[in-house]
Each structure stands twice: as C-alpha cells, then as structure tokens.
Amino acid sequence: MKNLLAAAIFVVAGIIVTTISTSSLEIQGHPDNNRCTGECYANYVAANGNIVEQERMKAEAAAAMSPAQLGRTAFVSCQACHGADAMGGVGPQLSGRDASYIQDALHTYKEGGTRGAQSALMWGVAGPLNETDIENIGAYIQSL
C-alpha cells in the first residue's frame, strides 16, 4: 500500500512538473512579452541598441563615474547590514570614516583577518572584491 501511494504521488508530481515546464506560463488576458521577434525586435534595437552596443554604453557610463559614484553602486549590497546611509544596523556605522579606514578593513576581511566580533560575516563579502572595488567603496564612505 505504501509503495502504491508513493508511486501515485510520483506520477502526479511528474504530471504537474511536465505541465508547468511545457506551458508558456502565459497569464490569461495578458500579452506574452517573451516573444519579441521581427518588427518588435527591430524596434527594441532601434530604441536601445543591440547587446554589444548596450554593454559598450554601460562601460562608457561607468568610465565617466567618479570613484565615489562607483562605490555607491557597490555599496548597495552592504546596505542590509550597514544601513542605506551607512549609519549602522546589524553592522557598525561606517559614515564618518575615511577611505583608508574602510580600505584597511576590507583588505583585512579579504585576507580572512579579524577586526571585531562579526568579522566572519565580512569574509564572504570582502573576498570577491578587487582592489578597484575596495578603493571605490572607501571613496563613497568618505564622501558621506
């Protein structure tokens, strides 16, 4: 009996997964926006450029930004702990610190060093940062 019930659950689950994965997931009464081809795609490219042009425009925009502006963009992931204005929360207040303090701290965390009770939380955050990211975040915090 147990085996029959398990087999029935497996079959029903398989039917549900197959139905979901093979449908277009279109909501009734709403257009399917996932199929932009032909004239739709030509209009999109005319308005926004193709993917290569979009990436070039992003790179040009980033090159025109100051280190503090780039740091502000990078700081978005830090806001959950340090607050939107870097006034603290789960993590300490960073606003009012100079760039060298922030850069030293991020280098310490990147190398797996300890600076306080919550250092382990920062190791995974600082690990993937490159030198430019660290400098930009420092510049942003100093600008606050």
Going from N- to C-terminal start, the domains of the chain cover: 67-143
Burial class of residue 2, CB neighbours in 10 A (0-12, 13-18, 19+): exposed
pLDDT for position 22? 59
Q: For 4-72, give the secondary structure using H, E and C.
A: HHHHHHHHHHHHHHHHHHHCCCCCCCCCCCCCCCCHHHHHHHHHHCCHHHHHHHHHHHHHHCCHHHHHH
For residue range 93-103, list pLDDT tens digits in order: 999 999 999 99
Determine contact, residues 126/138, Cβ cutoff 8 Å.
no
For residue range 119-137, list pLDDT tens digits in order: 999 999 999 999 999 999 9
For domain 67-143, the CATH superfamily is: Cytochrome c-like domain (1.10.760.10)
From 12-16, 31-35, 58-62, 114-118, the region with the lowest mean pLDDT: 31-35
Residue type, 116: G
pLDDT for position 10? 81
For residue range 43-55, list pLDDT tens digits in order: 988 999 999 999 9
What sign does the dihedral 83-142-134-114 (CA atoms) show? Answer: negative
Token pair in block for residue 143: 């600008």
Count other C-beta atoms under 10 Å from residue 139's C-beta: 19
Give the confidence band of 33 by pLDDT, cuts at 50, 70, 90: low
